[in-house]
């Protein structure tokens, strides 16, 4: 495929995604919007809808319908209106920035400035799998060290990360707290996806899926569900992180914490650390 055709196909692909959201706008108004603005609105509206839908469904099922089945029996589930509203308020301030970074990433892909490719057949299934694995490891490494730096460097914690860590107990954590962070930290969390576009070849649609899954994962890790599943950085690992302000800085897995000596399994260290 010639480069011009390739880039045109990428733009048409994102346009088809944008038009799914465009049906909720007046047709004339939507067509007059620049393509970048359409992409930004699509990312933002989709993020907000998925955020509220998944969080409400999760809270209903695990905190109400299956109360004390998947959550610690002595936990106080955060159904207080003030807690939930605070989490939503902080999340809503971060989401426009996350959506903007994602839109910029797509614009760079459409401009042909990255190593993205359209079809897996262009590189073969083995290379595709390797690209995904490298991508996942880079994101894990980046998020571990930026997260740890936010704790170890006190000015960073005070200025940025403390916004997220005001939700520090089981009765002040819920999926609504997942993206509740300072805009600067929110941007840092999605920057690795942008950086990788220039370093590692990546399938276009897979890139969009991985970015979305990363956001959804944060909803789960802040849910206080009691399910220690090695080597996954499950919610109870992250609950221990919030309670202690240390340990378990990882994202999807415990690998980075294990490698750099900050891993604490909640079943072994939870009670001890909470008492300190």
How does residue 76 score in pLDDT terms, banded at 50, 70 and 90?
low
State the pLDDT at residue 223. Answer: 85
Place of tokens 């992409």: 39
Q: Which residues pair with 117 in a beta bridge?
A: 203
Structural domain spans, the chain: 3-275
Does position 243 have pLDDT exceeding 70, yes or no? yes
Does position 247 have pLDDT exceeding 50, yes or no? yes
State the pLDDT at residue 259. Answer: 95
State the pLDDT at residue 270. Answer: 46
Please report, rounded to a whole number, the percentage of residues in the chain having pLDDT higher than 90.
Answer: 68
Q: How many CB atoms lie within 10 A of CB 7?
A: 15
Query: Residue 44 has which token pair?
Result: 């933002």
């Amino acid at each position: 495929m010639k480069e011009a055709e390739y880039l045109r196909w990428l733009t048409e692909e994102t346009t088809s995604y944008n038009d799914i959201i465009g049906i909720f706008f007046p047709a004339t108004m939507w067509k007059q919007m620049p393509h970048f603005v359409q992409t930004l609105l699509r990312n933002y509206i989709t993020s907000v809808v998925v955020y509220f839908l998944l969080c409400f469904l999760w809270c209903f099922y695990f905190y109400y319908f299956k109360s004390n089945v998947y959550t610690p029996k002595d936990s106080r589930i955060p159904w207080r209106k003030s807690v939930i509203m605070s989490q939503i308020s902080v999340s809503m301030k971060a989401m426009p920035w996350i959506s903007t970074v994602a839109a910029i990433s797509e614009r760079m892909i459409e401009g042909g400035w990255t190593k993205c490719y359209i079809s897996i057949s262009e590189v073969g299934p083995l290379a595709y799998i390797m690209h995904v694995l490298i991508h996942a490891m880079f994101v894990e490494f980046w998020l571990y060290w930026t997260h740890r730096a936010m704790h170890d460097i006190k000015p960073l914690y005070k200025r940025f990360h403390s916004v997220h860590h005001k939700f520090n107990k089981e009765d002040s954590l819920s999926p609504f707290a997942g993206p509740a962070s300072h805009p600067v930290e929110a941007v840092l969390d999605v920057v690795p996806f942008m950086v990788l576009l220039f370093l590692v070849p990546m399938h276009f649609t897979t890139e969009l899926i991985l970015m979305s899954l990363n956001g959804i994962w944060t909803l789960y890790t802040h849910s206080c569900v009691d399910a220690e599943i090695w080597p996954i950085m499950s919610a109870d690992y992250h609950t221990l992180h919030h309670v202690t302000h240390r340990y378990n800085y990882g994202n999807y897995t415990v690998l980075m914490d294990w490698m750099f000596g900050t891993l604490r399994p909640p079943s072994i260290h939870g009670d001890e650390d909470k008492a300190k």
